[in-house]
């Protein structure tokens, strides 16, 4: 684990909080698919949505507390890469659209996860206390 100054630790903590909040909200909006599936959704998409409704909040919790942060970030990177792929190649959504965000938001969240995977959670985390002897 690298050593950082307090400003860097605070920056990583803020990044973890913001990233976790994004994935908590994303997971929350997928929970209605457990009770009633919309018409026209395939069984694969329904299964994937249900799986993501569990994986996103779990990854968010790990990142928020700084527990297995790099592994959680890599899992969320895979999710975001899939979100970009589906937005771009399945639905044909551009980088930005005139009326709403395109896949630019997913790219920004993917970058957040890349930073956490590369630099770790910082000193104010469970990972840091686990590696201290």
Q: What is the pLDDT of residues 68-119, one digit of tens each?
A: 999 999 999 999 999 999 988 888 888 888 887 788 999 999 999 999 999 9
* Radius of gyration of the CA atoms of the chain, in A: 16
What local confidence, expressed as pLDDT, does residue 1 receive?
A: 56
Token look-up 């307090």 returns: 6
What local confidence, expressed as pLDDT, does residue 92 receive?
A: 85
What local confidence, expressed as pLDDT, does residue 36 receive?
A: 82
Please state, in angstroms and as integers, the Cα–Cα distance from residue 48 to each residue in 35, 52, 130, 131, following that order.
Answer: 15, 6, 33, 35
CB 27 within 8 A of CB 53: yes
pLDDT band with cut points at 50, 70 and 90 for residue 133: low
Q: Which domain holds residue 120?
A: 6-131
What local confidence, expressed as pLDDT, does residue 109 receive?
A: 96
Asked whether residue 1 is assigned to any structural domain, the reply reads no
Listed in sequence order, the residues at least 6 apart from 55 whose beta carbon sits closer than 8 Å to its beta carbon are 27, 75, 79
Asked whether residue 85 is assigned to any structural domain, the reply reads yes
Asked whether residue 64 is assigned to any structural domain, the reply reads yes
Q: Is the dihedral of CA 64, 68, 69, 71 positive or negative?
A: negative
How far is it, in rounded angstroms, from Cα 45 to Cα 116?
A: 28
**pLDDT digit string, tens, across residues 10-64:** 999 999 999 999 999 999 999 888 888 788 888 888 899 999 999 999 999 999 9
Give pTM, 2 decimals: 0.89
What local confidence, expressed as pLDDT, does residue 66 receive?
A: 94
What local confidence, expressed as pLDDT, does residue 93 receive?
A: 87
Overall domain count for the chain: 1
pLDDT band with cut points at 50, 70 and 90 for residue 121: very high
Asked whether residue 43 is assigned to any structural domain, the reply reads yes
């Amino acid at each position: 684990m690298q050593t950082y100054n307090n400003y860097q630790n605070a920056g990583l903590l803020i990044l973890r909080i913001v990233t976790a909040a994004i994935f908590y909200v994303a997971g929350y909006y997928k929970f209605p698919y457990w009770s009633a599936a919309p018409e026209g959704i395939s069984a694969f998409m329904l299964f994937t949505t249900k799986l993501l409704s569990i994986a996103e909040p779990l990854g968010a919790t790990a990142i928020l507390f700084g527990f297995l942060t790099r592994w959680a970030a890599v899992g969320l990177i895979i999710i975001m890469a899939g979100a970009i792929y589906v937005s771009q190649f399945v639905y044909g959504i551009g980088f930005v659209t005139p009326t709403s965000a395109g896949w630019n938001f997913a790219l920004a969240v993917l970058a957040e996860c890349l930073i956490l995977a590369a630099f770790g959670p910082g000193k104010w985390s469970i990972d840091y206390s686990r590696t201290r002897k």
